[in-house]
Structure 1
Amino acid sequence: MIILSHPACLAHDPGPEHPERPARLEAVLASLRRDHGDLDWREAPAAKLGDLRRVHSQAHIDEVLEHDFTGYRLLDPDTVASPGSRAAALHAAGAVIAAVDAVIDGSDPVAFCAVRPPGHHATGEAAMGFCLLNNIAIGAAHACERHGLERVAVVDFDVHHGNGTQAIFSQDRRVAYFSSHESGLFPYTGAPSERGAGNVMNALLPPGSGSFHFRNLWEDQLLPAIEAFRPQLLMISAGFDAHMRDPMADLMLETEDFAWITRRLHQIATTHARGRIVSVLEGGYDLEALRECSAAHVAELRAPGGQCAFPGPG
């Protein structure tokens, strides 16, 4: 298994009170180096402009990559750029591209991109929700255009709906988007009625939902739909902000639930996608929960064929 990251991802600074702070990635990297230091750690390259243009407009790219400024630059009410943001965004997107290349070319079937800023809220035209470039969408488009894949599944269990990813691929049947997220929460999209070109499936979790509701929703609705899609590559928007300790939402998941969904997705990838998985860090704002969940997620990703790896119930 490959871990991709880059020091530039720590230099994106949205301000001292901002929840999407460098300490998030520091916590993830420390946890993974402690528990999974024996894996294949690689430094992520920077994405090229052609990679970004597959999913983003030139105007949006120019805005995100602007570097001639000091201090902070507000891209939307929640999304802030600093002088270090350009390199962070390019290496975050580049990590996903390199991960896709590695798993498809046979270097290793599984990769985790420990990067920030997150990406799944960024649309083709705008940064939003802490996200500058849509990292996972850039990687999925690369898998289709460069490698010729016809069925890429993007699976998103972040507590917030990945509106940007859905919008980018809503009319592209090569990419199917599957998401569970808390109802009534930012960005206030992701209703089950949003189906795209038949390649979008959203499932809502009411505030207060815990393990039972989460696992049943996935087993009854989302996992069978992913199986039916028969992905050639499975990509995961791995947000851990549905954890009960996270301050940004109101779900009650525990670390074992993230291990469970990772294991089930790994099993599907083993059956349909030659085991090929690219997972990308999204949200998660309680540092202790983020440490626990990222380590458990990677433990399940590296286990052979989706076998149970996390030493917890379920």
Structure 2
Amino acid sequence: MKSENGVLHVVATPIGNLGDISERALSVLRSVDLICAEDTRHTRPLLAHFGIDKPLFALHDHNEEAASALIIERMQSGASVALVSDAGTPLVSDPGFRLVRATREAGIKVTPVPGASALIAALSVAGLPSDKFVFEGFLSNKASARRERMQQLAVEPRTLIFYESSHRIVDHLEDALAAFGAERHIVIARELTKLFETVLDGSIEQVLARVKADSNQQKGEFVVLVSGAPAAADSKLHEGMRIYKALTAHLKPSVAAKIAAELSGAPRKALYGGSAEA
């Protein structure tokens, strides 16, 4: 198959099991003139496994803004380009949105080649409500910022989904315990589609204890899913925001949030931090 000229293909690749790559993805990767990869050291073995030999261009957070112009010039000259990430669907907690945006602004066609995504794979086996969810990706490396964001999300009624790394998974769960409470239901999906895949679920307190007790459960790549807040918490937040908005006309936001939290029972940080989104 010859790829279309002057087009950007956004191609999903496996998150672990190479058997999950689609026939269409392979066909596109074999036909394009250039493959943009987040890290060519990850992508080259994947291509070699399937016998694909194409020019690779490293596109990452540090060069995406400048490199996008060069890639667009190639497409304007008729080249077909594929964009891949290290694993899964590009742009989902990975580089690429600047290139996609600039390509569309240049009037060049952008087409998806869908496939694996760790967050959707985890959601499909978690047994948590999946009709509505909030994807937060990786939270801040800074403990204080991570805790504050979790506190803001404590009254969110939709299922929460996070990505986490091996060296922070215990800290993440401890922060979740403090923010969401011991009894909130949580699911830890580790190394999905890979040899040592595990999915743990239970209360945050239970899952934290299991992860701490087994060093193997602290290795690999994680998707963390937390059940949404009960309806009572949601109603407290709405009442707290109503009071907070009224008070900010007369008081400093920090003072207004403190008083609104005391009157409504909603977390102060959720009121103060969520005011810009309300």
Q: Same fold by TM (over 0.5)?
A: no
More helix by share: 2
Smaller-chain TM-score bracket: 0.3 to 0.5
TM-score normalised by length of structure 2? 0.32
Which structure's CA Rg is the greater one? Answer: 2
TM-score, scaled relative to structure 1 = 0.30
